[in-house]
Structure 1
Amino acid sequence: MQTIRKAAFAAAIFALSTGASAAQSIDEQVNTGFTLATGWFVNLIFSPFPGTSFPWIVAWLVIAATIFTLYFGFIQVRAFGHAISLVKGDYSDPNDAGEVSHFQALATALSGTVGLGNIAGVAVAIGIGGPGATFWMILAGLMGMASKFTECTLGVKYRNEYADGTVSGGPMYYITKGFAERGVFGGKILAVLFSIFCILGALGGGNMFQANQAHQQIAGIVGDYPGWITGIIFAGVVFAVIVGGLQSIASVTEKVVPFMGVLYVTAALIIIGMNADKIFWAFEQIFLGAFTGLGVAGGITGALIQGFKRAAFSNEAGVGSAAIAHSAVRTKEPITEGVVSLLEPFIDTVVICTMTALVIIITQQLVIDPATGHYVVENGSIATVTGATGVGLTSAAFGSAFNWFPYVLAVAVVLFAFSTMISWSYYGLKAWTYLLGEGKTQELSFKVIFCIFVVIGAAANLGPVIDFSDAAIFAMAIVNIIGLYVLMPIVKREMVSYMARLKSGEIRKFK
């Protein structure tokens, strides 16, 4: 049956292509040009501290998440239950300004974060940093909840509300307005910089990386074929959704996100359940790797760096992207959406990324050889985990349980990639219109450009795509976190006021 499918698909590809060799040449040309154009940017963002291998941008995010966690009194713990009530709609007033519900805003933002970073990114982290990277990934996710809370509260507070009912918000708006309100110079400059980085992030991590890994997974099942063909198909479907605006995007994501999340987590739980006797051993490997760093490049530091890098790329806490989606929520209380948003890193990193990591660790059955300090499989041969990249490693891990699991994963990958792309198209669009002004022409021009980059991403190789994706998204965090530091007293004032009114009963449920 698989042979028949491959033959049929190959025939279809032949009908669309003038020849594999010519198509491969196109892919190689795209990859070479992309690498030359973006290499300097990647090197700048990920430069290590002098004399170390620790990227300064990782420390930038970790320190910020720690500060916000302490400054807001572990808000991620105190407000977790209330966040669930808000998502359920218990406190939602349909007459409030905004375009989407709390649940739709969360689903749209989650669709931008729950993506290939949860599948391919976790595999990259474990491949380089070993199982110990998982521990640091979870820790980064828990702390990142406070960063997300801060930025999304500000996104609602300083958004623009237009006469037609539409909304524009995000770091470019709260940095501009918030800095002016506090009498701080440079807000407009930082907002422009953020918008530029956001557009790059939308075209890179929110677009090309997703298309790239989706193509890799599909090709791994049906057989190798040129990436630009996958890109064209994806571009057409993405354009059909994003041309309808945020409400169209929200209506799709509120259906796709729960489905793909349940599909993926269920598949992971089945495999973990089949290997229940190895669960304790897997967590032992995670903790051992996190605090000893045996068998991985860079030891403890290597595991920590990979864990934090992958968590940041996966949940985007501190980046400011999700604040753009959350800004459109129907509410008159900015703090409510900050509370809702702290669920994102928990779902994205603590739940889904951990599921992926456990499946990989359990099915690969890695153990540490005390003689060499390397991770090896049970038969004694050197593990090939560091030789596998991205979604291929995760696919192999899922496929080790049932040979048909890669097909389930392929569906999840396609849904993850699709939902992430449509959400990031909205993020990039809002940055684009902030720079060029609101209008149908500006919106359409960006949507066309975005879809062109879908094709480019599917055709390029993983290396330059993932490097550029990381760099563009982390660059957004540079500007955004500066803004959060300046404006966090405003968030605290909002938080104290809201929590006091909630406790006194002044804020009541509508359901």
Structure 2
Amino acid sequence: MALTATATWSAAQALAATEPVGPVTLDERVNAVVSPLSTFLSSVIFASVPVGGVPIPLIVVWLFAAAIIFTLTFRFINISGFWHGVQIAIGRYDKPDSDAPGLITHFQALTTAVSGTVGLGNIAGVAVAISLGGPGATFWMILAGLLGMSTKFVECTLGVKYREIQKDGRIDGGPMFYLRDGLAEIGKARLGRVMAAVFSVCMVFASLGGGNMFQSNQAYQQLVNATGGASSPLAGSGWLAGLVLAALVGAVILGGIRSIANVTGKLVPVMAALYILSVLVILGLNFSAIPAAFGAILSGAFSPQGVAGGVIGVMIQGIRRATFSNEAGIGSAAIAHSPVKTRRPVTEGFVGLLEPFLDTVVICTMTALAIVITGAYTQPGLSGVGITDTAFRSVAPWFGWPLTIAVVMFAYSTMISYAYYGTRAVRYLFGPSELATNIFKVVFLIFIVIGASMNLGAVIDFSDAMLFSMSIPNIIGLYFLIPVVKRELASYRADLKSGRVKPAPQNG
């Protein structure tokens, strides 16, 4: 029988209050204070109903159903719009130096958003999914990623459609604006204002959780793995690693979206290339085992063992981790895409649908294959990034260092992107108040230290709960605004067909 929220909170407090053996480190003190809250929030957001003896989190069903509905509504835009999205992202249909409103190019918008989605969810999150659900969880991650492309298309189109361009040149956009203004257009202004405020509050806390605590936690853990494990000089000093990360993040987030776009535009391609090349080495050295790995993924996805327990349990793990990784339905990416230079909102919808493909279908699948082929997920006593580290070290002991570099870079880029997301939410709630945004930035940096100091389980509970809570107001708004996206898409396709929209002239 599942614990009630009150019972879970009491149990967590009792666990946190247990007297430790030996000297108490600062990391242990931080963990004891924050873990009960993480457990309580997770029990509320991931409230479940039993199906065949397996608890099904309603929030996961909510997200997966939305992805299916958007895919069917827009006639598989995730497939039909893929190549056009690539063409727009590389500047084929919009010149970067055009006089269209906006601050950043399509490519910069994509890399800024990808830096917030392609991160440790692809490295540690995949390992968590496979360790809990077996290789079959990979299949459901891929499916969730493919369907999530349609959700991203809707979110990013609306993010640009209802953005606000301020007198000082700043651009504010994202779910809070399309919830408020989009619903007002269809006569639901009060509902829109309430949901926009709820989303903004959830966004602030999500940026503190999934946006930095999980990132700093796993970056620190991988640094420990790379420098000796339990005997590492960094062991037990997560707070110190957190301080260093906080200082590096703070140096960038004070510069705003242009600064963030410049950093991520250079950092994301480099870190993605480093990580992908490293995984390709693992797959190349184990090439003959790849067919068997795919076989394990497919058979595990539909395992008859335990009937509902085997299939549904694995499905839930795969979908949950895929959503954490690519954030389709969460709404965060619409914030990063809203400052793009374009006059047609739907163009950014096409670019946005590329994110789940890059994030989940490509990078998550490669990680999963490396973990399954090497059998790293079967090793006892490992969790999160430690599983992926074991897969990398199967090549050679030193091969954990490319992973370490990638992990730290992924974590860094994700944190600076989520700092931007959080400040946009604070700006919506409190207006153009420098005091409010600066207070948030200080709190954000403090939570980097807290995340590095905590246990992985508590961090995942808090991160997932805060991130997934954003999907409730966001998806409600998306359903109401489907007709708006349909009109934008129909108008754009008509202009493409007539020649009013044509490829931009290419230099040289």
- So what's the TM-score if we normalise by structure 2? 0.91
Instruction: Name the counterpart of 1:195.
Output: 200
Structure 1 residue aligned with 2:473, among 466, 479, 497? 479
Structure 1 residue aligned with 2:375, among 318, 342, 364? 364
Q: Is contact 1:123-1:391 (8 Å) kept?
A: yes
Partner Cα distance (1:249, 1:365) in 2: 35
Q: Is contact 1:58-1:305 (8 Å) kept?
A: yes
Give every structure 1 segment of 4 or more consecutive aligned residues whose post-TM-superposition deviation is greater than 6 Å: none
Partner Cα distance (2:257, 2:250) in 1: 13
Instruction: Name the counterpart of 2:292.
Output: 281
Question: How big is the shift at 1:40?
Answer: 2.0
- 1:215-294 maps to which residues of 2 (within 5 A)? 215-222=220-227, 223=232, 224-292=235-303, 294=305
Q: Supply the AA of the counterpart residue of 1:260.
A: M
Query: Equivalent pairs: percent with the same residue?
Result: 54
Question: How big is the shift at 1:225?
Answer: 4.0
Instruction: Name the counterpart of 2:26.
Output: 26
Question: How big is the shift at 1:439?
Answer: 3.1
Partner Cα distance (2:44, 2:326) in 1: 22
Q: Supply the AA of the counterpart residue of 1:227.
A: G
**1:384 and 2:379 aligned:** yes
Partner Cα distance (1:294, 1:95) in 2: 59
Structure 1 residue aligned with 2:70, among 45, 68, 71? 68
Instruction: Name the counterpart of 2:44.
Output: 44
Structure 2 residue aligned with 1:314, among 325, 330, 333? 325
Q: Supply the AA of the counterpart residue of 2:300.
A: G
Over residues 27-81 of structure 1, what are the superposed CA-to-partner deviations in whole Å (9 max), with x where a residue is unaligned? 1111111112232211011111145411111100010000000000101111111
- 1:377-456 maps to which residues of 2 (within 5 A)? 383-384=378-379, 387-456=381-450
Partner Cα distance (2:462, 2:284) in 1: 37
Instruction: Name the counterpart of 1:81.
Output: 83
Question: How big is the shift at 1:164?
Answer: 2.0
Over residues 417-445 of structure 1, what are the superposed CA-to-partner deviations in whole Å (9 max), with x where a residue is unaligned? 00000000011110011101113222222
**1:152 and 2:148 aligned:** no
Over residues 455-480 of structure 1, what are the superposed CA-to-partner deviations in whole Å (9 max), with x where a residue is unaligned? 11111111111111001110001110
**1:337 and 2:348 aligned:** yes
Question: How big is the shift at 1:294?
Answer: 4.6
Mark the CA change 1:328 to 1:405 in structure 2 (over 3 Å): closer, same or farther.
same
SS at match of 1:69: helix
Partner Cα distance (1:164, 1:96) in 2: 16
Over residues 139-170 of structure 1, what are the superposed CA-to-partner deviations in whole Å (9 max), with x where a residue is unaligned? 00000000000011000000010122210000
Partner Cα distance (2:346, 2:407) in 1: 33
Instruction: Name the counterpart of 1:120.
Output: 124
Partner Cα distance (1:399, 1:446) in 2: 39
Mark the CA change 1:249 to 1:297 in structure 2 (over 3 Å): closer, same or farther.
farther
Q: Supply the AA of the counterpart residue of 2:464.
A: D
Instruction: Name the counterpart of 1:177.
Output: 181
SS at match of 1:53: strand
Q: Supply the AA of the counterpart residue of 1:405.
A: F
SS at match of 1:233: helix
Structure 1 residue aligned with 2:336, among 295, 303, 325? 325
Partner Cα distance (1:55, 1:431) in 2: 27
Question: How big is the shift at 1:502?
Answer: 1.0
Partner Cα distance (2:496, 2:162) in 1: 22
Mark the CA change 1:268 to 1:295 in structure 2 (over 3 Å): closer, same or farther.
farther
Question: How big is the shift at 1:296?
Answer: 11
Partner Cα distance (2:39, 2:82) in 1: 41
Partner Cα distance (1:470, 1:225) in 2: 24
Q: Is contact 2:239-2:449 (8 Å) kept?
A: yes
Q: Is contact 2:120-2:215 (8 Å) kept?
A: yes
SS at match of 2:407: helix
Q: Is contact 1:130-1:295 (8 Å) kept?
A: no
Most deviating of 102-111 and 295-304: 295-304
Q: Is contact 1:128-1:297 (8 Å) kept?
A: no
Q: Supply the AA of the counterpart residue of 2:75.
A: G
SS at match of 2:70: helix
SS at match of 2:397: coil
Over residues 285-340 of structure 1, what are the superposed CA-to-partner deviations in whole Å (9 max), with x where a residue is unaligned? 00000011559993111110110001000000000000000001011100000100
SS at match of 1:304: helix
Partner Cα distance (2:142, 2:76) in 1: 16
Partner Cα distance (2:419, 2:435) in 1: 16
Q: Supply the AA of the counterpart residue of 1:216.
A: Q
Question: How big is the shift at 1:242?
Answer: 0.5
Question: How big is the shift at 1:509?
Answer: 2.1
SS at match of 1:54: strand
Q: Is contact 1:97-1:165 (8 Å) kept?
A: no
Mark the CA change 1:365 to 1:443 in structure 2 (over 3 Å): closer, same or farther.
closer
**1:355 and 2:360 aligned:** no
Q: Supply the AA of the counterpart residue of 1:239.
A: G
Mark the CA change 1:293 to 1:140 in structure 2 (over 3 Å): closer, same or farther.
farther
Partner Cα distance (2:498, 2:76) in 1: 21
**1:204 and 2:199 aligned:** no
Partner Cα distance (1:41, 1:61) in 2: 19
Partner Cα distance (2:134, 2:486) in 1: 38
Over residues 63-110 of structure 1, what are the superposed CA-to-partner deviations in whole Å (9 max), with x where a residue is unaligned? 000000000010111111111111111222420111111000000000
Provide the aligned C-alpha RMSD in A: 1.5
List runs of 5+ in structure 1 lacking aligned partners. 1-20, 367-382
Q: Is contact 2:376-2:388 (8 Å) kept?
A: no
Aligned pairs, number: 473
Question: How big is the shift at 1:198?
Answer: 0.5
Question: How big is the shift at 1:136?
Answer: 0.4
Instruction: Name the counterpart of 2:110.
Output: 106
